[in-house]
Amino acid sequence: MTEENKNKNFYAGNGVSAKVAPKRPLTLEEQYEEDDRQWLKNVYQGDVKQLTVRAVVMGMIIGGLMSLTNLYIGLKTGWGLGVTITACVLSFSIWKLLRVIFPKIFKTDMTLLENNSMKSTASSAGYTTGGTMVSAIAAYILITGQHLNFWVLTAWTVFLGIAGVVMAIPMKKQMINMEKLPFPSGTATAETLKSLYAGEESKKQTRTLLGFALGGAVLTVIRDFFEWIKYTYAVFGEKLAEYTVSMETSLIMVAAGGIMGWRTAWSILFGAILNYIVLAPYMVKIGAITELGYRGISSWSLWFGASVMVSAGFTSFLMQWKVALKAFASLKDLFSRKKRELSEIEKVEVPMSWFFWGIVVGGTGIALIMLFAFDIPVWVSVLAVILSFFLSIVACRATGETDTTPVGALGQVTQAFYGMLRPGSKVTTLMTASITSGIAGSSADLLTDLKTGYILGANPRKMFLAQFLGIFAGTAVIVPAFYLIVPTPDVLGSDYFPAPAAQVWSRVADLLAQGFSTLHSTAKIAMLIGVAVGVIIPLLEKWFPKAAKYIPSSMGIGLSFVIPFWNSLSMFLGALIVLIIEHKKKSLEEYIVPAASGIIAGESLAGVFIILLSTVFGG
């Protein structure tokens, strides 16, 4: 392959295509700068109507609804649904209906980028407000036997949301603009929006997306509403099923695997086989794992998986520290009296000053609540906010590569860290870890939203403002809803609301209250090995770039140790299907992303609708 073709391929993804590729090989920094110029020239649509009152209001309404459904799902299963695709389809459909019913009031359609801004508001409302509610806050209730004060929880949710939104600012520059990580759900959302607004040229892709969306919705209704089929089947035998080695009937992870890429997907399956088929049975035999099933096995395996992801994230960051830290160079302008001329990309990107002041405001609010409500020293809160930056690198990279945010695993690792720092205090380990994992998880999920905007050419500053407004919409709904859904502590852990995430957090807090030494010795060894693996793999990628496709993905390996085997298998199958299509049926390549996007959209929408029915009718 010639250098010219290499450079053309560099610009081919993520909506960026250079008409004239540079003639000489570019340095890494020059490539990033040229890519920004090409994005501004060929993709950016700054003049299109975007951040409007109607878009924000619609986003707040839908986002509030999404935050409620994620609260319900989180207390039921410990997982959350993506809200971006659901919000886009709901907004588009509702607005079309309003135009038919009230044509004199709703005179024009929303533009594609207005719908994108709406989705940014809804994403923030759904993502930034409920994560810690179903994990750390619910665990706090389990441990103490009492609710937090309403106003304390409201302020906590707002300030944590602010810190999470602004933490996405430096991560976006590094992982979307520079590294162009796939963020499968973000890519799928962009394709969904394009299809909703498609012209004649995209009718085939639109039909593909809608057809697969219908299929995903029908499957979800059959499984979750009528319960004619189960969520998982023990196709490999009942014995292995106890180790989560089963086949799931959901196709969302299959679709995500089709977008994420072959290397990451085979790495996930390799790690899952190692974890659930090789290591877990042996750990059960020696007593390191005392309970079968996902929760029991992951209570041991998460220490290795999280260690791999954390060390790999840090190593990748350090290997690009010159380029990565350049994103923070503009912070010096805050303390300089000289005004410098901004580059074209700086005029549209969110300035780092917004990150600085957001962290100051959010961090100060968090520290004051920690001090007065929990009697936790300010320095501990400051350390938690600082640590959240580094854990955000890990969470964002994991989400970007695999479409899964390992908030639970990161939460338990940070609980262990604070358990060593201040042994004996369950509340300290819970609340400080909730700061770190809450900020990291929110920033990672919001990068999914920002990836969509990058592909569509949206204005990053307007997307940020939409996300910022979404915090207040989500808080206004989810905090009172939490008190209504969980009126007394005994609701948590019941058959109706098992609250699995909260159970894990509370169990880890119990474990670490007596100090880090209570962890099983094999878990400590696994952590050390995980750190080594996370360092070695990025170094091998750097030293042997031509062999990179044969080197397992560190994020894939790490993630496989913190999710059930059936999720890993589904991702692998999705990537395998795409690999076969690329080699045998190249004519179908253009339908891969629309098909995957349709599956994700169809299952998500149907899942939310079924949950709403259950909530209304008490099913």
pTM of the predicted structure, to 2 decimals? 0.71
Q: Is the pLDDT of residue 32 over 80?
A: no
Task: Summarize pLDDT for 80-93 with one digit per residue, the tens.
Answer: 556 677 677 777 77
> Tens digits of per-residue pLDDT, 287-331?
999 888 887 888 788 788 878 877 876 777 677 655 555 555 554
Write down the pLDDT at residue 574. 92
C-alpha of 567 from chain center: 16
Residue 21 has pLDDT above 70, yes or no: no
Quote the pLDDT of residue 13.
45
pLDDT, position 336: 54
- For residue 248, the surrounding DSSP H or E stretch is strand 247-248
Closest to 465 in 3D by CA, of 165, 247, 191: 165
Q: How far apart are CA 395 and CA 29, in angstroms?
A: 24
What percentage of the chain reaches a pLDDT higher than 90? 13
Q: Are 217 and 203 in contact (CB under 8 A)?
A: no
Give the C-alpha separation, 128 to 156, whole Å.
11
23 in a structural domain: no
For residue range 381-394, what is the model confidence (pLDDT) as tens digits? 888 888 888 778 87
Residue 228 predicted with pLDDT over 80: yes
Q: Is residue 311 part of a domain?
A: yes
Tens of pLDDT, residue by residue over 92-106, are: 777 877 888 888 888
**Confidence at 507, pLDDT banded by 50, 70, 90:** low
Q: What band does 245 get if pLDDT is binned at 50, 70 and 90?
A: very high
Domain carrying residue 132: 53-330+351-614
Within 10 Å of residue 417's Cβ, how many Cβ atoms?
Answer: 19
Give the Cβ contact number of residue 463 at 10 Å.
30
Paired residues of 137 in beta bridges: none
Mean pLDDT for 134-140 is: 81
pLDDT band for position 201 (cuts 50, 70, 90): very low
What residues contact residue 109 under an 8 Å CB cut-off, 6+ apart? 95, 96, 99
Please tell me which residue, 123 or 498, carries the higher pLDDT value: 123
* Beta-carbon contacts of residue 564 (< 8 Å; ≥ 6 apart): 244, 248, 294
Q: Does residue 57 lie within any of the structural domains? A: yes
| Per-residue pLDDT at 272 | 93
Give 449-471 pLDDT, tens digit per residue. 889 889 988 898 998 999 899 88
pLDDT digits (tens, 9 = 90+) for 559-603: 788 778 998 899 899 999 999 988 887 767 667 877 887 787 677
Residue 133 in tokens: 């509610």
Least confident of 350-364, 408-422, 513-527: 408-422
Q: Residue 365: its pLDDT value, please? A: 93
Q: How many domains, the chain?
A: 1
Is residue 12 pLDDT above 60, yes or no? Answer: no
Give the per-residue pLDDT at 275: 94
The answer to whether the beta carbons of residues 445 and 395 sit under 8 Å apart is: no
Averaged over 55-75, what is the pLDDT? Answer: 77
158-199 pLDDT, tens digit per residue, is 998 899 889 888 888 888 887 788 888 888 888 878 877 775
Supply the mean pLDDT for the chain: 79
* Predicted pLDDT of residue 383: 87
Q: Which of 313, 311, 284, 286 is nearest to 297 (CA)?
A: 284
Residue 165 or residue 29, greater confidence: 165
For the segment 31-42, the average pLDDT, to the nearest whole number, is: 80
What confidence score (pLDDT) does residue 402 get? 72
* Cβ-based neighbour number of residue 523 at 10 Å: 20
Domain assignment present for residue 17? The answer is: no
Higher-scoring residue by pLDDT: 16, 277 = 277
**Which has the closest alpha carbon to 523: 203, 166, 279, 309?**
279
Q: Tell me, what amino acid is at 126? A: G
* Residue 536 resides in a domain: yes
- How much is the pLDDT for 598? 77
- The helix/strand/coil state of 598 is helix
Residue 150 lies in a domain: yes
| Highest-confidence segment of 58-72, 94-108, 226-240, 508-522 | 226-240
Largest CA distance in the chain: 72
Q: Which segments of 486-499 does DSSP mark as H helices, in order?
A: none
